[in-house]
Amino acid sequence: MVVCLKVKKIHGEDAKQFLREKGWLDTERLIGKTEKMYLILPIAGRFDKHILLKKFPGSKFEEKNLQKIPPHQTDLKHLLKNILTEEQIGELVRSYDVIGDIAILEIPPRLDRLAVSIAWAFKRAFPYIGVVARKMGKVGSADEEYRLRKYEILTGERRLETMHKEGGLMMHTDLGKAYFSPRSSRERERVAGLVKNGEQILVMFAGIGPFALVIASKNQNTQITAIEINPDAFKFMEENIRLNRLGFAINPVLGDVNEVLPKLGQKFDRIIMPFPEKSWDFLELAIKYANKNSTIHFYAFVREDKLNDAEEKIKKIAEKEGRHAKILRVLKAGSYAPKTWRYVFDVKIK
Ligand SMILES: C[S@@+](CC[C@H](N)C(=O)[O-])C[C@H]1O[C@@H](n2cnc3c(N)ncnc32)[C@H](O)[C@@H]1O
């Protein structure tokens, strides 16, 4: 039995709203009603009887047996409750990604024997998911240069190919053949928002094209050169440019940036370097092809206490090229390891 406010139906919505605002509505129970005139609202917390009686004249307090709202049958946390502890659920729910109709889970080895049951819980919670896969090893474990990792398919169709949507753009990919992470979507939006009319832009490690696509879709009057070394990723990029009708703004180039850039012989107003594991190896090259007053978005994994060193290193590399680098801003653009983040350095090159 719980204490309830029996209130006339004409005041029902106001009373519900008022109780909710005060934190006095018991949201875990169903709301009742009498056949004719009254709503029965379950009450929780330290409510003030006098305030309620004054605000809703004609209402009464009664004890009623209102049922608890059954947990939603497709609620992920509820489905996982039978399999995992609260802490394990928290860990799992914080770390999964959905790419197209594929859910990618990070399951620690100690939960190996529960992996398939966990996968089924995901499939029930998200009926549109066609494949549930699990990350195996680190990025680069399947192919270092192309940044591919291994996956184990736990349930669903035996494929890693899917159509992902990001802000209305279609991105076709195969996670077994090309790198893609939905976690950089905010960063892509941020960079696209900084682009100015008429800029010549270079995306150095373009993958299936997400940076180029987002920038082109938001800035019609730009020219983007997008270079990618992995032939599979390159094919997906070409297809994605076609699918989104952005061919007028993006020039995809297959090859190694070290070889492609000298051949193109072009300089750029904005250069994006989304390859945090290796970007230091390419900074000198990027600066060579940076116009005066251009911006480089330089991504790198750096320990929190080594940020100053990283900034100094960027400035020194620029000096070696006879240029001046001014650090405009440094932002966290993803987590990596304890006290180490994926940072983006926005650098003005003079
Ligand atoms: C971390 S991924 C980033 C892909 C994409 N920009 C994204 O955000 O999804 C790095 C990409 O750089 C490509 N890559 C590695 N070395 C390269 C090089 N020397 N020249 C051009 N692309 C390269 C890899 O194949 C991979 O697709």
Choose the weakest-confidence range: 88-92, 179-183, 206-210, 329-333. 88-92
The amino acid at residue 95 is: S
What would the pLDDT profile of 22-67 be if each residue is shown by its tens digit? Answer: 889 998 888 998 888 899 999 988 899 999 999 999 999 999 999 8
In the predicted model, what is the mean pLDDT of residues 189-194?
97
Q: Residues 103, 109, 113, CA angle at the centre, nearest 5°?
A: 80
For residue 93, the model assigns a pLDDT of 83
For the domain spanning 183-349, the CATH number is: 3.40.50.150
Burial of residue 227, with CB atoms counted within 10 A of its CB: 0-12 exposed, 13-18 middle, 19 or more buried: buried
Nearest CA to ligand 1 atom 13: 205
The amino acid at residue 305 is: D
Cα 230 to averaged position of ligand 1 atoms, centre (Å): 8
Substitution site in 171, 185, 228, 234 for ligand 1 pocket (most atoms within 8 Å of beta carbon):
228
228 CA to centre of own chain: 22
- Domain boundaries for CATH 3.30.70.2580 within the chain: 2-64
**Cα–Cα distance measured from residue 295 to residue 96, given in angstroms and rounded to the nearest whole number:** 33
Substitution site in 234, 235, 275 for ligand 1 pocket (most atoms within 8 Å of beta carbon):
275
Cα 227 to averaged position of ligand 1 atoms, centre (Å): 8
Q: Work out the pLDDT band at 141, boundaries 50, 70, 90.
A: confident
| pLDDT above 80 (res 262) | yes
| pLDDT above 80 (res 270) | yes
**Alpha-carbon separation of residue 203 from 66, 173, 183, 252 (angstroms):** 60, 18, 18, 10
Q: Work out the pLDDT band at 180, boundaries 50, 70, 90.
A: very high
Q: Work out the pLDDT band at 91, boundaries 50, 70, 90.
A: confident
Cα 113 to averaged position of ligand 1 atoms, centre (Å): 35
Nearest CA to ligand 1 atom 12: 205
* Contact indicator for 175, 160 with CB cutoff of 8 Å: yes
Q: Work out the pLDDT band at 72, boundaries 50, 70, 90.
A: low
Top-confidence residue, 206 or 72: 206
Domain 76-159 fold: GMP Synthetase; Chain A, domain 3 (3.30.300)
Nearest CA to ligand 1 atom 6: 206
The b/e string for 28-64 (b: 16+ C-beta within 10 A; e otherwise) is ebebbeeeeebbbbbbeeebeeeebeeebeebeeeee
Whole-angstrom Cα Rg for the chain = 27
Cα 208 to averaged position of ligand 1 atoms, centre (Å): 9
What would the pLDDT profile of 102-120 be if each residue is shown by its tens digit? Answer: 999 999 999 999 999 999 9
- Domain boundaries for CATH 3.40.50.150 within the chain: 183-349
Strand partners, 250: 224
Residue 188 alpha carbon, nearest atom of ligand 1: 8
Architecture per CATH, domain 2-64, reads as 2-Layer Sandwich (3.30)
Residues with CB under 6 A from ligand 1: 145-147, 179-181, 184, 205-207, 210-211, 227-230, 233, 256-258, 274-275
Substitution site in 97, 174, 179 for ligand 1 pocket (most atoms within 8 Å of beta carbon):
179
Cα 109 to averaged position of ligand 1 atoms, centre (Å): 29
Residue 230 alpha carbon, nearest atom of ligand 1: 25
Residue 206 alpha carbon, nearest atom of ligand 1: 6
The model carries a pTM of 0.80
